[in-house]
Structure 1
Amino acid sequence: MLTLTVLGCDGSHAGPGGLDPQRAGVGAGAGSGYLVRWWPTRTAVWVDAGPGTFAALQRAMAPDGLSAIVLSHRHRDHTSDLAGFAEQARWSHRPGEPPVPVLAPAEVVAELGHLGGGALAWTAVADGAETIVGPLRLRFARTDHEPETLALRLEAPGRRLGYSADTGPGWSASALGRDLDLLLCEATYSAAEERIGVHLSGRQAGRMARAAGARRLVITHRWAALPAAAVRREAEEAFGGPVGQAVPGRGYSL
């Protein structure tokens, strides 16, 4: 079984947290971060490390059990908690133990690759790159977002998960394949903010998922000031079916 656990899901900055995340103007209290696990082998991949997500990761599992870390781009709402993990890993890493692989765009490696010492092994990835983590195959695709931002296709035996990372409407989730069992897609804004263009609205996320043939859609990265229910309704109308709303601690099974 492949599982996805939401560690954090606020877009651009963390909201106040501690309240009902479905209410208007209430953020989850943590930036983007997700834990993907393949249970037959206990393979665990931490995808994005926004503020508040390292604490959530430790509630879900022991951090020394991670198989790899993926950072989609260098914005702080996706990377800031890597520093805390790196400090923990540096002190707990024992001689002879393999380092934790960290996969990220080249400019992220250039900026943060000094973290962790020998406890982390940094690798630069780019559009079209593929790598193997245990039984999982990871493939990256550049999105419509600056700085360089990489969406992720994560494939397990018989299971396929897609993650849009941050993107504008100039990208298509079809770049991750048309056989996704679940697409985790950013939906930062409502339709009223689509003119901004640097992120997707709920409506655009729904249209994108439907065009890509995704079987399930979960939206994330909502701007904390916007009502979650409205963004979700837009996504459902465009997708043509139920849509999941990312909330910290919520899990999905594929």
Structure 2
Amino acid sequence: MSGLSVTVLGCSGSYAAVGESCSGYLVRSDTTALWVDCGPGTFANLQCHMRLQTVDALLVSHHHPDHCAELPVVYNAAKYYMGMEHIRVLATEGVREVTEAYGDSSDLFGWEMVKDSSQARVGDIDVLFSRTDHPVETLAMRFENDGKSIVYTSDTGRGWALAALSRDVNRPPPDLVVGEGTLLAATDDPSIPHVSAAWLAADANDVGARQLVVTHVPPGSDPEDHLAEAGEVFSGDVAVARTGASYFA
């Protein structure tokens, strides 16, 4: 592996399809590994690629359970079975509140609260956060390393755009967008706090993204339909997220 990449640990939207996992991604450079969102089932899939002890930080976009519910499991595994003493966690206040409903986790998790416009550096990866259009505080993320960039939208409605992590902050177009395309033309509804694959594709075109990966496809919806609708709009390379697949910036 060389350069900035993202590996899918889970990509089912809202709940896991049969044999699948909810949202989770492994963003890596040559020397740094970030576990981004930890929905149910993603811890098992992470271990197909690397040991938890070699992850440099966990980054969690929001406190809906399909994006964060693995955190208490990670706590128990790391503290009581793996002998770990510290895990860096960058997340919203809501993520910490939900996690600590199970008890104080500060003896293991090094919590760093992030919000709209926050910036962080983990290893050799720079991260910029932007609040999306979702019912709870939700943060999209831009990852930068050695002139390459990946943007992860997390969950959002139509009131947020990729420009918030590119043009609006004087950043170049992202090399790769991993974005939610939960809806299709047949299910698109502005009142739902998610966007369609076609809407995502148009937004990615607007910021000049080179590659697009459509994710957060809900169970019962054919991923190939989401791929087809995005492909009709997006002018670059487009794929639909597959668990275990890696994509390079």
State the TM-score, normalized to the length of structure 2: 0.92
1:239 aligns with 2:242: no
Query: Does the aligned pair in 2 maintain the 1:32–1:53 contact within 8 Å?
Result: yes
What is the one-letter code of the residue matched to 2:196? S
Alignment partner, residue 34 of structure 1 = 25
What is the SS of the residue equivalent to 1:193? coil
* Per-residue deviation, residues 91-129 of structure 1 (Å, max 9, x unmatched): 2235xx5x2111111121222244644221011110000
Where structure 1 has 5 or more consecutive residues not aligned to the other structure, the ranges are: 18-28
In the TM superposition, structure 1's runs of 4+ consecutive aligned residues that sit over 3 Å from their partners are 113-117
Where do residues 1-254 of structure 1 align in structure 2 (5 Å cutoff)? 1-17=3-19, 29-39=20-30, 41=31, 43-91=32-80, 92-94=82-84, 99-113=86-100, 114=103, 116-177=105-166, 178-195=172-189, 196-254=191-249
What is the SS of the residue equivalent to 1:59? coil
What is the SS of the residue equivalent to 1:11? coil
* Per-residue deviation, residues 36-89 of structure 1 (Å, max 9, x unmatched): 1111x2x11000001110000011101111100011000000011112111111
* Per-residue deviation, residues 109-154 of structure 1 (Å, max 9, x unmatched): 2222446442210111100000110111111000011111000011
Where structure 2 has 5 or more consecutive residues not aligned to the other structure, the ranges are: 167-171
| Count of aligned pairs | 238
What is the SS of the residue equivalent to 1:206? helix
Query: Does the aligned pair in 2 maintain the 1:87–1:116 contact within 8 Å?
Result: no
- State the identity %: 39
How many Å apart are 1:241 and its aligned residue?
3.6
What is the one-letter code of the residue matched to 1:93? G
How many Å apart are 1:207 and its aligned residue?
0.6
What is the SS of the residue equivalent to 1:110? helix
What is the SS of the residue equivalent to 1:234? helix
Cα distance in structure 2, aligned partners of 1:221 and 1:32: 7
State the TM-score, normalized to the length of structure 1: 0.90
How many Å apart are 1:225 and its aligned residue?
1.0
Moved more, 189-198 or 65-74: 189-198
Query: Does the aligned pair in 1 maintain the 2:5–2:29 contact within 8 Å?
Result: yes
Moved more, 197-206 or 5-14: 197-206
Do the aligned partners of residues 238 and 70 (structure 1) sit closer, same or farther apart at CA in structure 2, a change above 3 Å counting?
same
Cα distance in structure 2, aligned partners of 1:190 and 1:33: 22
How many Å apart are 1:242 and its aligned residue?
3.3
Cα distance in structure 1, aligned partners of 2:212 and 2:104: 34
